[in-house]
Structure 1
Amino acid sequence: MNAMRTKIAIVTGAGSGIGRAVALELLRTGWSVALAGRREDKLAETAAEAGASAEAGASAGAGAGAGAGADPQAPDALCVRTDVSRPGDVDALLAAVRDRFGRLDLLFNNAGTFGPGGVPVEELDYAAWRHVVDTNLNGAFLCAQAAYRQMKEQDPRGGRIINNGSISAHTPRPHSVAYTATKHALTGLTKSLSLDGRPYGIAVGQIDIGNAATDMTERMATGVLQANGQLVPEPVMDVTDVARTVRHMAELPLEANVQFATVMATTMPYVGRG
């Protein structure tokens, strides 16, 4: 990271899980971070865990103020309540970041949902399908589009977008049609954004994560449905290893890009799925 200038990041889904771990890793290593998520209390918890000088920012379209009185030595976190599926919320998020920090160097496009688990495709409610698509795919697009516009116009120009793809961007689990479809689509989004960003110094990559230990993966200890119909416990890895991988990708010079990275629990049943 360039020691002459603090780098600025947005992390979506920053109130828990992988998003929280990545935000904490960036804050710990000197980044200023806009923490985006639906629950303000969870965003505040992330900022507090980092020991950050946290400031409440935009909320569902409201503007953000400056961080007067903040400790200049503390990590700088801006909490912005954001539903990434709502264009107005995403616009407010980027406006808050511009107002507070003046630019954007990194978007970690992480917000997502599994949707209803264990539901066969013929029984999946259309509203549930739409919710997963709106969050995982449309939300990622809206955030990337807004970040792209900012990065293209700022001086110095450019920046980086990292999409959270998941192992399901490659190989599905049983009864995961909505989640798997959106994660496959994210791979196409990553490739297209990467190509279109080249003239403007915008590097776009994807991290595909398998079995990081978070609240969302606690069920893996008791058993996860496999392709052969069995319930089998699966190993997990420390989520901080994911966070360090994201930071490595983020801190490369813009002339270098990790297009796709897979980080997973070493012995998870991925290569042999199906």
Structure 2
Amino acid sequence: MSHASEVPASTPTIVVTGAGSGIGRAATRLLLAQGWNVVLAGRTEASLLETAQEHSRALVVTADVSDPEAVQQVFLAAQSHFGSVDVLFNNAGIFGPSVAIDELTPQQWDEVCRINLTGAINAARAAFAHFKVHGGGRIINNGSISAQTPRVNSVAYTVTKHGIAGLTKCLELDGRPYRIRATQLDIGNTASDLLNDFGATQGALQPNGERMVEPTFPLQQAAEAIAYIAGVPLSASVNQLTITAGGMPHIGRG
């Protein structure tokens, strides 16, 4: 299901997956304010509509990114409504269980992979195919600093985010002939609901066994980084960008 009124096709268009909350919501609202057309994709229509706030340049399309047909419909709806897509913010993801590998069930592993890896590949595949026939485009993959350095008891999340690093490099390499650029955006401790999944705001487990309330930084600042990358001309590649809360455990994780 989609909702929006028609707008001129000359305005740049971005697809945001996981637009119903957190970083996806903050980025969507900033991009709309900056003059972008934004296609909001996610599983819960009510959350997407809340993000869109009836903005005239917002198109809401409900889709589960783990379903390749649903993702394809997102891009077809975007093309039908706005003419073409310029950027994908490949953002949908979950943290999963905070456990060591021997406590991780096969079902939990499959669920994290289904969203974080399969979902990301489905969205990237659809964007890549679209960009090939529309003169290029940019894919921004929401990684994590866990793609660089793991957090304690984060095996499923960390492994899938390392996969995002490989996906980004492959997209950048294979996209060269088509002016397709790819960025891995690694964000650490922006103030979103994801932090509650591993206790960063109440006391996250550290490598030495202690718990620490970790610094955070505003979602708006993460959204500004996304908007910056989205607006870079295709004559330049932004291969990787890391933005973290000042003073948070990252290098060496503590």
Fold match (TM-score > 0.5)? yes
Match of 2:33 in 1: 28
Give the match's secondary structure for 2:224.
helix
Displacement of 1:41: 0.4
| Mapping 1:217-228, distance limit 5 Å | 217-218=195-196, 219-228=199-208
Task: Work out the CA distance in 2 between the residues paired with 1:36 and 1:229.
Answer: 39
Task: Work out the CA distance in 2 between the residues paired with 1:151 and 1:222.
Answer: 43
Give the match's secondary structure for 2:190.
coil
The one of 227, 232, 236 equivalent to 1:247 is 227
For the pair 1:195 / 2:173, whether they are aligned, the reply is yes
Match of 1:10 in 2: 15
Displacement of 1:229: 1.1
Give the TM-score taking structure 2 as reference length. 0.93
The one of 108, 117, 121 equivalent to 1:137 is 117
Which shifted more, 217-226 or 122-131?
217-226
Aligned residues: 244
Any unmatched runs of 5+ in structure 2? 1-8
Displacement of 1:131: 0.7
Give the match's secondary structure for 1:220.
coil
The one of 203, 211, 214 equivalent to 2:192 is 214
The one of 89, 92, 98 equivalent to 1:108 is 89
For the pair 1:77 / 2:58, whether they are aligned, the reply is yes
Task: Work out the CA distance in 1 between the residues paired with 2:252 and 2:178.
Answer: 40
Displacement of 1:272: 3.2
Quick check: 1:249–1:257 contact (8 Å CA) kept in 2?
Answer: no
How many percent identity over aligned positions? 50
Give the match's secondary structure for 2:214.
coil
Quick check: 1:35–1:77 contact (8 Å CA) kept in 2?
Answer: yes
What amino acid maps onto 1:101 in structure 2? F
Provide the aligned C-alpha RMSD in A.
Answer: 1.2
For the pair 1:52 / 2:55, whether they are aligned, the reply is yes
Quick check: 1:166–1:210 contact (8 Å CA) kept in 2?
Answer: yes
